[in-house]
Chain A
Amino acid sequence: DIVLTQAPLSVSVTPGESASISCRSSKSLLSSKGITSLYWYLQKPGKSPQLLIYRMSNLASGVPDRFSGSGSETDFTLKISKVETEDVGVYYCAQFLEYPYTFGAGTKLELK
């Protein structure tokens, strides 16, 4: 199975500042079709996960452009600029390259 390693496990951010979360894959997530199958989700407290970024760098519908995704074939970054109170929760990366699809362990974002 593809292992996704997230860092840090938790991050504390002052509202208005930026935050970055890393996700490293044990295998290249670049498919033969040229698609990088790395996704980001946010799970707010007590809620279901919600899609933020698909295919490494594409913003999902309705997601504020404060969120952005970037990376290479194995190393990925989710950046949140100007963090707001509504951004609190656990962020997960997930890979859709091959079965079984797998998640990272999550990064908890808190406010200072």
Chain B
Amino acid sequence: EVKLLESGGGLVQPGGSLRLSCAASGFTFTDFYMSWIRQPPGKAPEWLGVIRNKANGYTTEYNPSVKGRFTISRDNTQNILYLQMNTLRAKDTAIYYCARGGSWDYWGQGVMVTVSS
């Protein structure tokens, strides 16, 4: 059974940093692209970025809205996807999801990040 479990969310002050994790199980992690997507309360989701699979060299792409502040990485030995978020702003307040593959056929349950003083 495919499972994606995010962790690491919480309350952070403006200008602070946070690292989210997404623990994957039930599939061959290295075979899949993995994406981060966020959803501000009451709004539509926003794609943040993707890290490609082994066959494509684990390269990354980012939404310009977060490029330079957010970094996606993966630990392929422990099957964990990461999202490092720096210089956080109030507008970054959202539920953050990880999703599998090129079609986002599986999503995690999401983790809440609140940026506030």
A interface residues, Cβ below 8 angstroms from B: 39, 41, 48-51, 54, 60-61, 92, 94, 96, 99-106
Contact = CB atoms under 8 A, between A and B. Distances in A.
A94 B109 CA distance: 19
Contact of A100 (B63, B107, B108): B63
Contacts of B47: 94, 100-103
Q: Is the interface of A mostly helix, strand, loop or mixed?
A: loop
Contacts of B105: 51, 54, 60-61
Interface in B77-117: 97, 102-105, 107-110
B55 to A, nearest CB: 17
A105 B44 contact: yes
Contacts, number: 45
Output the residue of A50, A51, A106 with the most chain B CB within 10 A: A51
Interface in B33-88: 44-47, 61-65
B103 to A, nearest CB: 5
B103 A48 contact: no
A48 B61 contact: no
Interface residues of B, number: 18
21 contacts: A39-B104, A41-B104, A48-B97, A48-B108, A48-B109, A48-B110, A50-B107, A51-B103, A51-B104, A60-B103, A92-B44, A96-B103, A99-B61, A100-B63, A100-B64, A100-B65, A101-B47, A103-B45, A103-B47, A104-B44, A105-B44
A60 B61 CA distance: 25
Given A49-B97, A60-B103, 16 more contacts: A39-B104, A48-B97, A48-B107, A48-B108, A48-B109, A48-B110, A49-B45, A49-B104, A51-B105, A54-B105, A61-B105, A92-B44, A96-B102, A100-B63, A103-B46, A106-B44
